[in-house]
Amino acid sequence: MRVRIGGLVAALLLAAAAATACTYYPEPPSPTPAPPGTAVPIMPTGWPNGTTGTFGLRIDPGLLTNIPSVVGGNQLVEAADIEIAAMSDASYAKAFSSYYVAGLGSTADLNWLQVTLGAPRADAQSEDFYTTWRDGWFQTACSQAGGIDTTAQQEINLWQVDVAYCIGGVDAYTLTLDDGVIVSIMDLGPRRLGLQLIQGIN
């Protein structure tokens, strides 16, 4: 039985920067504190035209064209806080030429989704790279959800998708698109927004 556990989404919200080819996990950034008199913390905003970090990692909103931008009737929102963490880590620039993170929902919502899109550098495009990334993604997704329960490979909407089911209720997915972009998803809640997203990929 998969159950929702208290505080899970809050723990995962910044943890999903995920692994690189050498399974390195960057330290998640802390939320920006609210200025005096502000009830809601002010989070980083995205870059409509993209941006490039100090180490050369390109945050590319164009990667979003690979997947549906609307899932379950809601527009995906750029997760700039997680992108900042990736740009601040040299290992991401060594693994990916471009990167983008978006999501749906908040820590107060029953359903929550996070999706990471990464275009591996030409010298990193190998089965070993994908396998290492997938395993690191599953470990990261399930680390605050009681660990990995089971893993499987499924055909979803004609895509070969690797899936991990976490003990605490999170589902994690990875797949590679025809252009080599790796799609990595974490999904929590009965609406199974991650599954809906994959079902909408053309």
Q: What is the pLDDT of residue 44?
A: 65
State how far the Cα of 149 lies from the Cα of 191, in Å rounded to an integer: 20
Environment class of residue 129 by beta-carbon count within 10 Å: exposed (0-12), middle (13-18) or buried (19+)?
A: middle
Q: What confidence tens digit (pLDDT) does each residue in 122-165 have?
A: 988 888 999 999 999 999 999 989 999 999 999 999 999 999 99
For residue 115, the Cα-to-chain-centroid distance in whole angstroms is 4
State how far the Cα of 82 lies from the Cα of 14, in Å rounded to an integer: 6
Q: What is the pLDDT of residue 109?
A: 85
Q: What is the pLDDT of residue 81?
A: 92
Q: What is the pLDDT of residue 93?
A: 94
Q: Which residues of the chain have pLDDT under 50?
A: 1-41
Give the global pTM.
Answer: 0.80
Q: What is the pLDDT of residue 2?
A: 39
CB 31 within 8 A of CB 156: no
> How does DSSP classify residue 169?
S
